[in-house]
Amino acid sequence: MKRPLHITGALLKALLLVGCNLVPLSPSQPPAAAPTATLTPLPTAAPGWDAVMLGVERRTMIPDGLSPLSQVIVYRLDPQHITFKAHAAGQPLRVGEWRGALPNALGFVNANFFAPDNTPQGLVVSDGSALGQTYVNRGGMFQVADGVPRVRSLIAEPYRGEELEQAVQAFPMLVLDRQPILQDPRADRTSRRTVVAQDSAGRIILLVTPLLGMTLNEMATFLSTDPDLDVVHALNLDGGGSTMLSAPVAVEMPSFDPVPVVLAFYAR
């Protein structure tokens, strides 16, 4: 059926009016590009280190003169971006159980030695609550006081009950004021190791040996002489069957034995 002329004319007029309202783009004004997502780049890591995230660097090392079975995994943590907490469980837990119990932690390592009844030896302080008794004339401590983490010798600087936010204790100290504290070689043996250390910039270093490990003498020498680590103080934590690691960009390293205390780190 043919459309009436007066209707067709009205439609043409409407199209003309719409056309008058269309503003053509000038060749000098191209269409605006669609916004794109902005990704925050990782900070630049020091040579030999991998930047995992802000405040977290990682590397794998083989100490000079030792076999590949002495490999160490090292995490270097900047307290400006990372916080630390000690956690004690009512019963010893395996790495997956600790991961489930600490869903917000970036990672953790095992900490205190413990007795056959799974009672932690030495002092544990978690969010200001203390468990156990401090070592006297023995070992060292990782502590957080007034938000500042540090590694300290309990022989050079005994703990006298001052207020702490977090703490774990173990033995022996491996490095004090950059000097290795060598142990009696007759009591030394090759074993898996867990270590907490501090460098000259105040950064905290967590180190584990996932394979055969090394002796305490070898570890003390390595930590005190490697310039990339720049270790000032270092404390040996429970090792052997207790050595455990869960951390970003690392395969979770389970311990052979469940452990009752871990030292965990978190993003600020």
- The pLDDT value recorded for residue 185 is 67
Among 34-38, 44-48, 54-58, 248-252, name the most confident range: 54-58
Q: Which tokens go with 100?
A: 């489930």
pLDDT above 50 (res 257): yes
The verdict on residue 24 lying in a domain is: no
Whether residue 129 is contained in a domain is answered as yes
Q: How many domains does the chain have?
A: 1
Q: Does a structural domain hold residue 10? A: no
| Per-residue pLDDT reduced to its tens digit, 78-97 | 999 999 999 999 899 999 99
Q: Which residues contact 196 (CB under 8 A, 6 or more apart)?
A: 109, 142, 151, 168, 204, 205, 206, 207, 234, 235, 237, 263
Whether pLDDT at 207 is above 90: yes
Q: Which domain holds residue 90?
A: 51-267
On whether residue 39 sits in a domain, the answer given is no
Which residues 6+ apart lie within 8 Å of 202 measured at CB? 79, 149, 150
Residue 176 inside a domain? The answer is: yes
Residues 6+ apart with CB under 8 A from 90: none
Residue 183: pLDDT band (50, 70, 90) is low
d(CA 160, CA 36): 57
Nearest of 85, 78, 83 to residue 51 by alpha carbon? 78
Residue 22 covered by a domain: no
**Is 146 a member of any domain?**
yes
- What is the reported pLDDT for 61? 97
Name 120's bridge partners: 114
Arithmetic mean of pLDDT over the chain: 87
Q: What is the pLDDT of residue 36?
A: 42
Residue that is written with structure tokens 């205390």 in the block: 261
Token pair 């977290």 in the structure block, residue: 56
The answer to whether residue 38 is domain-embedded is no
For residue 230, count CB atoms less than 10 angstroms from its CB and return exposed for 0-12, middle for 13-18, buried for 19 or more.
middle
pLDDT tens digits, one per residue of 126-182: 999 999 999 999 999 999 999 999 999 999 999 999 999 999 999 999 999 999 997
